Amino acid sequence: MSFKGGERVRIVRCEDDPRAVGREGVVLDQVPPGPLTGGRWTVSIGALLIRDPLCHTSELQRIG
């Protein structure tokens, strides 16, 4: 599965930051992730105390 920039997702698991689990956000990447991010997508969740997490494809669920 692949995502597009701006697509809404729900974080179902997050190795990078477990506090992000259950939150909804927007994929920021415009191209599939590469070696720089370890193959993980950047998701903007708009949380005050949680930075934008990096999540593997299997940790995200498309919504809407």
pLDDT in tens, 43-64: 999 998 999 999 999 999 999 7
Asked if the structure places residue 31 within a domain, the reply is yes
Asked if the structure places residue 44 within a domain, the reply is yes
The model carries a pTM of: 0.91
Total domain count, the chain: 1
Query: Residue 39 and residue 57: Cα distance in Å, rounded?
Result: 8
Task: Give the domain range for residue 41.
Answer: 8-62
Nearest to 45 by CA among 58, 54, 36: 54
Does residue 1 have a pLDDT over 80? no
Query: Residue 22 and residue 24: Cα distance in Å, rounded?
Result: 7
Look at residue 17 in the predicted model and tell me its pLDDT: 96
